[in-house]
Amino acid sequence: MIYGAILKEGLELFTCFKEIFHSLDNFQKNYNWLITDVEAAPFKAGHYERITQSGRYAWISGEELTGIIKKDNFPWIWGVLSGFEKCYEKEEILRYDLPYADGYGGFWKTELSIQHPLASIELVAWDGCLTFFLSKQENLVKMFHTAFPLSDDLKEYNKGITEEKKYLK
């Protein structure tokens, strides 16, 4: 089962991840990360290049991601950070389509899913104005809701959107 949250209010910058990492006990260190579909505004030179190694994606450890964000808590406009158990190798991950944020309709469905079939977590910056947090671990999503009380349960939020669409027809 996939659990999810959407954060669209309550923070000055919704897509700066340092506060999220800190609030969730630096969970990101336990994973390797595939970072895709990035548009960001790093404050320090070199960080943008590091998170887009090939121009299409980056594959970095949770420790490296932590170091980048610790040095430069920049806003992400678009981007998908897919977290993988450390048992997976990059070559295995790259056999699948790369996740994307801009134009992906799956965020708005009542049946939640993580884009990459091998990922355990998906953290998404969406147009610089909201953050999606999806996980196979319910406890992480509960921690997210506790840390960010103005976040909404993504499944319930999407049900509301679906109900609105019924009335617009």
* Interval 7-65: pLDDT, tens: 987 555 557 788 899 999 999 999 999 999 888 765 555 544 555 555 689 899 999 99
Segment 151-167 shows an average pLDDT of 80
Model pTM above 0.85? yes
3-state helix/strand/coil string of 22-43: HHCCCHHHHCEEEEEEEEECCC
- 137, 2 in Cβ contact below 8 A? no
Per-residue burial over 128-137, b if 16 or more Cβ lie within 10 Å, else e, is bebbbbbbee
